[in-house]
Amino acid sequence: MYRIRMHGRGGQGMKTASRILGTAFFLEGFEVQDAPRYGAERRGAPMFAYVRADRKTIYERGIIVHPDLVVVSDDSLIAMATAGVLTGLTAETPLLICSNREASFYHERYDLKCQVIVFRLPPTTSSRSPRSSSCAGAAAALLGMISPHNLNQAVAQELHTLPSNLLKENQQAARTVFDKLQDFKGIVQRRAKMEIGRPQWLDLPLEVASIAAPIIHAPASSLQMNTGVWRTLRPTIDLEECIACGQCNTYCPDGAISLNTEGKPTIDYDHCKGCLICLAQCPAQAITAQPEQEEVS
């Protein structure tokens, strides 16, 4: 069985990528299972999808803990422990990253023992990047048994609601990435069966209700949740242009913009989710947005 886990952010199309890959496998005659898993169910929040493919009926279900291939659509997720990108990775698991950086960057930064393969998104004419098709095309190249024809068919089936020009662009993107990664064709190894250990069960003790009831005993504990990591676009305020009207503070749905005594705003980037409502509301157009990327320290 092949087990593939695809990590992305809500809205980046990783569910679609898993479906394109699943359909491509299916067209090759495999039994298939694909499914998304959402955490916060919010745009920008980490999520993943998984694909299983085998020549016989698949009985396994649920999350893939020991993947044969991990695909990452957004490199800023790797550092995020809650995203679980590196969970179950071994030296034999290729890590495929959609990025403009070199593979060596990730080896050094995360002390990775596995093979890292990077690919770039092909340029597009539209504002909607063909990310899902590209990730599926890249994964298909590494898996090695999916033909370009079936990859093309799979993109067409999964994106049939797109206008024909966008569909064509997605098909081209999948093929471009697929062709570029042919040096890595077939490097994904099906993991040998792992020995089944014994469970480390314990007898759960009875605890008093003050411990055992689902209660958070403190105010504002949500401050500890760094929802700023969900952000894909970072708003920046040009204080020279700012007219201190306070609109951004009023409209921010997360209360992540505070005003000083002169009415000038500051953004709390630990909790700004990058919705850009502030940018849309600012009458002085003093707010701009830049794509987030993993910071190089």
Partner 1 sequence: MSRTLLTGNGAAAWGARLAQIEYLPAFPITPQTEIIETISAWIDRGDMACRMVTMDSEHSMITAAGAAAATGVRTFTATSSQGLLYGMEMLYAVAGWRVPLVLVNVSRALAAPVTLEPDHNDVLAARDSGFLQIHCATCQEVVDTMLLAYRLSEDKRVRLPVIVNLDGYYLSFTREPVELPTLDIASRFLPAPTIRTDQIQASQPTSQGIAVLGGSQYSYFRYEQHLAALASLSVYEELGREYGELTGRFYSALELYQSEDADTVFVMIGSFATKAKEAVDRLREIDLKVGLVRLCLVRPFPAAELAAALAGKKGVAVIDQNLSMGQGGILFHELTSVLYNRPDRPRVITSYVGGLGGRDISLEDFRGIAEETAQAAKNGHAPPPRLLYTAAELTQMRGLQEIAKTQKNSRGHTL
**Interface with partner 1 (CB under 8 A):** 19, 22-23, 26, 31-37, 58-63, 193, 196-202, 204-208, 210-211, 214-218, 221, 224
Under 8 Å between Cβ of 135 and 73: yes
Q: Which is nearer to partner 1, 221 or 297 (CB)?
A: 221
What is the Cβ-side half-sphere exposure of residue 154, based on CA atoms within 13 angstroms?
A: 29
Phi first, then psi, for residue 198 (nearest 5°) are -100, 145
State which residue, 10 or 122, has the beta carbon closest to partner 1: 10
Cβ-Cβ contacts under 8 Å for 253 (sequence gap 6 or more): 275, 277
Among residues 37 and 42, whose Cβ is nearest to partner 1? 37
Q: Select 211 or 239, whichever has its Cβ closest to partner 1.
A: 211
Provide the minimum distance between the beta carbon of 47 and partner 1 in the complex, in angstroms, as a whole number.
12
| Cβ–Cβ under 8 Å, residues 182 and 141 | yes
By C-alpha distance, which of 239, 230, 249, 237 is closest to 292? 230
The nearest distance, CB 264 to partner 1, in angstroms, is: 33
Q: How far is the CB of 195 from partner 1 (least distance, A)?
A: 9
- φ, ψ dihedrals at 54, nearest 5°: -150, 165
Please, which residues bridge with residue 4 across strands?
51, 69
Quick one: 31 or 92, whose CB is closer to partner 1? 31
Q: Please state the closest distance from residue 293 (CB atom) to partner 1, in A.
A: 29
Closest distance to partner 1 from the beta carbon of 173 (Å): 22
